[in-house]
Amino acid sequence: MAQSTQIAAILIGSNTSSSLKTLLTKVNVVHVSARAFLLNQTVDEMADAIANSRYIMYCGSRLTQHSQRIAGAMIKARPLSTSEPLVDFIDWSNPDPGVDHNDDLKGSVSLTHFLEEADDDSGTESQLWKVWKATGVSNLDVAGHEVIAEA
């Protein structure tokens, strides 16, 4: 989704404010294979890879199966990071029928559970994690063109 992204536009102010301004800033996007990231690395190696990430976007499959390892890596990456500790995890995956039984939210809920469980003794730290699930989006082909299905 974010391949080749180099500049991001950030709106500053509120939509009701007449002083709404746009800030353009450079961004660094690292794209890795979910399979290589999850199956060929230890949790410590995963933590090193995501340290200082503000957003993590997951476009793989079987998030439910991998959520405990991902949560472990996110938690280990926090003390390694020099930037702000708030991390948004954005789940763009489709459910894997063999694992998630067409439950589109199971992976995100599972990840949230493991993050909150690990931070249970710390009070407000669980608020540092935001897990988002993208739903209701149309299909995109490999060229990025919207595909509209006829009913």
DSSP 126: G
Domain boundaries, the chain: 32-147
* Residue 91: other Cβ atoms inside 10 A: 23
| pLDDT tens-digit series, residues 4-52 | 566 666 666 665 556 667 666 666 777 788 888 888 899 999 999 898 8
Of 75, 21, 84, nearest to 46 by C-alpha is 75
Q: H or E segment at 113? A: helix 106-118
pTM: 0.70
| pLDDT tens-digit series, residues 64-120 | 889 999 999 999 988 888 876 678 898 887 665 555 555 667 888 899 999 988 765
**For the purposes of burial, counting CB atoms within 10 Å of the CB of 66, is it exposed (0-12), middle (13-18) or buried (19 or more)?**
buried
* Residue 125: other Cβ atoms inside 10 A: 16
